[in-house]
Structure 1
Amino acid sequence: MQDDTDLDALGVNASPQADFQAVLGARLARRGLLRGAAGLVALAGIGGGAVATTTRAALAAGASTLTFPEVPHGPQPGHAVAEGYDAQVLIRWGDKVLPGAPDFAPMAQTASAQAQQFGYNNDYQAFMPLPAGSTGSDHGLLWVNHEYPEAEAMFPGLDRKTMATALTREQVDVTMASIGGSVLELRRQEGRWQVVLGGLNRRITADTPMRIAGPAAGDDRMKTAADPQGTTVLGMIGNCAGGVTPWGTVLTCEENFDTYFTGDVTQGPEAAAWKRMGLTGKANHGWARFHDRFDLAKTPNEPNRFGWVVEIDPYDPNATPVKRTSLGRYKHEAATTALTPDGRVVVYSGDDQRFEYLYRFVSRDAFNPNDRAANRDLLDHGTNSVACFNDDGGVEWLPLVFGEGPLTPANGFRNQADVMIDIRRAADLVKATPMDRPEDVEPSPTTGKVYVVLTNNTSRKAAQVDRANPRAENRFGQILELTPPDRDGKPDHAAATFQWDMFIMAGNPADPSHGARYGEGISPAGWLACPDNIAFDARGRLWIATDQGEQQSVNGIGDGIWACDTSGPGRAVTRMFFRTPTGAEMCGPAFTPDDRSLFVAVQHPANDDPTTTYATPSTRWPDFQEGMPPRPSVVSIVKRDGGVIGG
């Protein structure tokens, strides 16, 4: 987060629809917590007392299929990984990505250099085997999102409150070149990974030309003086999580794009849309001082061109990225895919803000596994829908289609482009269920169940609490488990209704006030707070990355990676595997197909104090050299004996 603004509070949904916690309360009161989770108990709070620490540790050791010794909570200036594993810093902010890129010079940065170097605040990652279509695990491409710049940590002499007016033109352009994404060619040799400076490597930035496709392409609300056709845009912003398509492209998600625009948000035809999306016009990046497209008075349609899912082909460095407007415009967190029994493509995504929604897109046409080119525009045609959670354990998917229900001209919608541009308002009108910051959404590769991560919601009021859910001002978050119905022996991800259960309620089970609930046998290091990104290994075990923000000092634990089984005696028994350095968020866990390597992204190290500056960081990870700032980095993890991660 770049300043003291609470990004999760901007544009908060004012919908009167009952929030998710109220629904959860009624749901759990009627059916009992964790209906489908044999062996799960309440470790603290309502329904059970705390289990003795020694008993929990003993149970965890015997119950879980995960055999690694746990890492202690921390935090510490450096990172830590479970005993028996090696964690190697693979690439850092400023390291070379393109052949011929200059060495990183932190006191003499230029935009042209940064556009050839690894960007800032690495987030979502995807390992793509080479050659394309293979399952190789020793040679591949790593896609990495670069979410946002932190100028006060990138350049000397700045602070969060004044940098909007203090940044020079060159510094602004460096920050614009520092975001977007990187494609890296990697090779594993003798158990260690290295970046190959080859022709497949690529940097995508806030200035990379992109095509706009789908229902909003060419719409009047997408047109600008620089793009009178409304079909081309420069760059992507706030790319947080993402996903991979069955045909081997990356889906990267624009999240907090609203903080880059400056101007009076109360004037003009887009004022209501700006408010619902959370634009304040008080951006602290300084971009509008030098680039008119970020000045709302000069280019009022420019915000409509961000907040999309972008499809990128990592195997073709010349391929133009495409913003797929059929997937809707909001603060996307994740765009993970599944196939229906008849071969259509489903994309799940959450809107990462308090009281926002969970979405699902189902393609009109089926995936063609024999013709990669035939799938090029598959995501431009289909139906987007939003989730409504019922207290009987059902999930209804409510279609967001122009002309259906309230999505009509009477409510201000001219066409499907309006529905997708203003999808939050469309979801309000169909009465979707407001959620607690929906983050990652991942279908299990072994069961087809869908896991929805809700990071936290400290804005929930005491009036929303009931007997089964005693967590007002939820600081800890939870994970839901959604079950699609079976069709012909396969999960039907396109079904109109699912079932849902609670999987984990995060927090410290030793503190009854947290109301935390896990599997039987959680250890003292096993509890977590603020789940964010998740990934599955090939056995279907869940690996959870956390993002506590400035709550790290309050909770007294660092962010990191926890893992657990999703079935059997070790179901929801989380165990801590990796810990970030102080102030850092854990992002983007990604496995190789053989599960013998895990890549994790360490974002914004030293960001545990709002007064942190370039000169006074709380850690100088990963270099620990005087004069070298802390650097967001990718870490590759392997087991020393060459075995499978997790055991």
Structure 2
Amino acid sequence: MTQHQHPGHVDPVLAAGDEPMSNASANGYFGDILEARISRRAMLRGSLAAAVAGAMATQLPFGSAFAAGGASAPAPSLGFKAIPVSAADSVVVPEGYRVSAILPWGTPISGDMPAFSLDASGEAQGHQVGSHHDGVHFFPLEGSSRDGLLVMNHEYVEPRFLHAAAAGLALDRNGFPQNADGSRDDDQVLKELNAHGVSVVRIREGSDGQWQVVEDARNRRITGLTPMRLAGPVAGTEHVVTKYSPDGTMTRGTLNNCAHGVTPWNTYLAAEENWAGYFANSDAEIDRRQARYGIQTRDTGRYQWHRAESGADEFVRFDASSRGATPAEDYRNEPHAFGWMVEIDPLDPAATPVKRTHLGRFAHEGVIFAPAVEGQPVVAYSGDDARFEYIYKFVSARPYHAATADGSLLDEGTLYVARFHEDGRGEWLALAPGENGLTPENGFADLADILVNTRAAADQAGATKMDRPEWGAVDPATGQVYFTLTNNTRREAGDEDAANPRAENHFGHIIRWQEEGSHAGTRFAWDLFVLAGDGDDSQPILAGEPLGQEAIFANPDGLWIDADRRVWIQTDISESVMNTGIFEVFGNNQMLAANPETGEIRRFLTGPVGQEITGVVTTPDQRTMFVNVQHPGATTEAEAFAAGELVSHWPDGGSAIPRSATLVITREDGGIIGA
């Protein structure tokens, strides 16, 4: 049938796929807390640092609780010259460094190794690297820094760059081809589903220093169709009964995988972030299990997968309308099988991925584990990446023992949500039956009900509304926990608080805290590490002065702390505002490194046009770094796409379509990255 264009339906103030605000609770705002302590003017002139440091000094001084042997941890070096901002269609790294690209979308990794082509089938895509690279981790083989499994998320797709049939259509970054009757081509839907998910691929550095794909039985794709097991308190309950799994123990696929996590037992966790928009639901009334996650009464989904021509079951499931007599006869509960963390064993291709439901259901940006301690509980943190949502912590019921630890440790424990107080203190509120108002009288029947409705439970408990919590990281020496808060332009004057101090927060900030006693504790002390922005509206709290040109950045998103304690910060300025207006000064998205002791920040990398820099890890010897570049060329306007006038051709150059890919960064002298 003739291919037509679907223009997309995304709120223009959001990036592609970000969900609309759905928190209508009366809980306190993080910005209000800070405003109660000090004025905005004083805050931007350093008083916040003094006020918070004063509170910390008398309670939980940073650096004392977790430093080895009680000694202060050594500060890392930033041994590179900062680079300037850039708007070029290229990747720039500091003098003395080399950078190249590997594993672009469509790279063959398994099966009969189907070659990349816009004409490649949906089945072929299931054997190729997915689209829109995001969180990434390197699993060394036999401890090698030159041979290992690279595992990475593929957050979403840009259909206009995925299908040959899209050529000549006026499609923006959210649009997709469709038939004249509104249906979708089956193979296009299959290709989009298979371009989501996770790639596991063995790579090896050759004698020439170049990294290449190695054909290996462990190479595989986990996609939007891969069978998955549900585990934890929600598994087997009425919440997840579907036509596909009448006993509520299985589901198919993982979607919108943003950041990730690596367990102490060396498995990979993929986050399910903005999954709600994939579902249509024409029911007149939407219950809180969907409404609190942004699903509304509508017969449309993000990519209209439920309208595939064949009406096949694997596509129809994206219509969550009540069509049968019972939940076992339709897919009204299908959205309840999403919003979890998915555990994948990279080393075992036969292992079924598992959705760990006790980690909570929301728009998981990722998960970060505190260093595991023998005989102590496992502790993991996660942010809910939406405006006015929350930061969570899971503490396992059973202790960690390295010899026997596995994913079942994540199936029993306590999920907490954070409340930040204006005096620099904070507390973790248990999301457990009978605690913090989570009773049947208040609408929470049992633990499974609480977890399926994690956001509503956090509302009830009284958590602090945050400015889009994204990636987290734990300082390996001090135990301090860092989280990026990327932005929130919907926070109005008067809604500020200590942890979210700016109304119309265009630029975002980074918060950090120290747990009381251990990571499993229920109280903490917090401060702000940096307020992002330009030279007039920014501040590294420790330094007390606005950011210089070598350090200005906006919308912190990706975050990682290396073994030497360098804090790597990645930015995600939305395509809708990139290189325009107040964001023009920042250029393309970038990555910076920060010293956690001094607050010094230096720009390390800038990416090509229209992309997000996201995902970072090094090999064990810290001499090779992998960084992902997502959606280059996304700022191409619909009319320009129709005319073939793309704003980016990275990484292949010439007239090639842009493709997400992974950067390989090394020093010319073979030294440690960033040192």
TM-score of the alignment, normalized to the shorter chain, above 0.5: yes
Percent identity of paired positions between Structure 1 and Structure 2: 40
Residue 45 of structure 1 corresponds to which residue in structure 2?
none
Mapping of residues 230-629 of structure 1, within 5 Å: 230-264=248-282, 266-267=284-285, 270-280=286-296, 281=298, 282-290=300-308, 291-297=315-321, 298=323, 299-339=331-371, 342-371=375-404, 374-465=405-496, 471-486=502-517, 492-509=518-535, 511-512=536-537, 519=543, 522-550=547-575, 551-554=577-580, 555-556=583-584, 557-567=587-597, 571-611=598-638, 613=641, 615-626=644-655, 628-629=656-657
Whether the 8 Å CA contact 1:35–1:501 is kept in 2: the answer is no
- Match for 1:203 among 208, 221, 234? 221
Whether the 8 Å CA contact 1:538–1:593 is kept in 2: the answer is no
Residue 146 of structure 1 corresponds to which residue in structure 2?
154
Alignment partners' CA distance in 2, 1:468 and 1:97: 44
- The AA in structure 2 aligned to 1:357 is Y
- The AA in structure 2 aligned to 1:598 is M
Q: Any stretches of 5+ residues in structure 1 without a counterpart?
A: 39-62, 487-491
After superposition, what is the alpha-carbon deviation per residue over 1:351-406, rounded to whole angstroms, capped at 9, x for unaligned?
000000000000111122123xx424111011000000001111100000023232
Residue 177 in structure 1 maps to residue 199 in structure 2: no
**Cα displacement (A) at 1:485:** 2.3
Change (3 A) 1:3 1:223: same
**Cα displacement (A) at 1:412:** 1.9
After superposition, what is the alpha-carbon deviation per residue over 1:33-66, rounded to whole angstroms, capped at 9, x for unaligned?
124999xxxxxxxxxxxxxxxxxxxxxxxx9821
CA RMSD of aligned residues (A): 2.4
**Cα displacement (A) at 1:546:** 0.6
**Cα displacement (A) at 1:163:** 2.7
- The AA in structure 2 aligned to 1:507 is G
- The AA in structure 2 aligned to 1:214 is G
What is the aligned residue count? 605
Partner SS state of residue 669, structure 2: coil
Residue 114 in structure 1 maps to residue 125 in structure 2: yes
Change (3 A) 1:466 1:196: closer
Partner SS state of residue 92, structure 1: coil
**Cα displacement (A) at 1:520:** 6.2
Partner SS state of residue 226, structure 1: coil
Whether the 8 Å CA contact 1:340–1:493 is kept in 2: the answer is no
Change (3 A) 1:366 1:64: closer
**Cα displacement (A) at 1:164:** 6.7
Partner SS state of residue 424, structure 1: helix
| TM-score (normalised: structure 1) | 0.89
Change (3 A) 1:618 1:460: same
Whether the 8 Å CA contact 1:98–1:202 is kept in 2: the answer is yes
Alignment partners' CA distance in 1, 2:663 and 2:225: 27
**Cα displacement (A) at 1:591:** 1.5
Partner SS state of residue 273, structure 1: helix
- Match for 2:48 among 33, 36, 60? 33
Partner SS state of residue 473, structure 1: coil
Whether the 8 Å CA contact 1:154–1:629 is kept in 2: the answer is no
- The AA in structure 2 aligned to 1:560 is Q
Partner SS state of residue 192, structure 2: helix
Residue 87 of structure 1 corresponds to which residue in structure 2?
99
Whether the 8 Å CA contact 2:263–2:369 is kept in 1: the answer is yes
Alignment partners' CA distance in 2, 1:601 and 1:92: 10
After superposition, what is the alpha-carbon deviation per residue over 1:132-160, rounded to whole angstroms, capped at 9, x for unaligned?
xx4x3222111100110111232224424
**Cα displacement (A) at 1:613:** 3.2
Alignment partners' CA distance in 1, 2:659 and 2:378: 37
Alignment partners' CA distance in 1, 2:147 and 2:52: 39
Q: Any stretches of 5+ residues in structure 2 without a counterpart?
A: 1-6, 54-74, 309-314, 324-330
- The AA in structure 2 aligned to 1:508 is D
- The AA in structure 1 aligned to 2:572 is D
Alignment partners' CA distance in 2, 1:2 and 1:84: 43
Whether the 8 Å CA contact 1:27–1:393 is kept in 2: the answer is no
Change (3 A) 1:558 1:317: same
Alignment partners' CA distance in 2, 1:244 and 1:516: 29
Residue 102 of structure 1 corresponds to which residue in structure 2?
114
Alignment partners' CA distance in 1, 2:227 and 2:269: 16
Residue 666 of structure 2 corresponds to which residue in structure 1?
638
Whether the 8 Å CA contact 2:153–2:258 is kept in 1: the answer is yes
Residue 74 in structure 1 maps to residue 99 in structure 2: no
- The AA in structure 1 aligned to 2:293 is M
| TM-score (normalised: structure 2) | 0.85
Whether the 8 Å CA contact 1:209–1:233 is kept in 2: the answer is yes
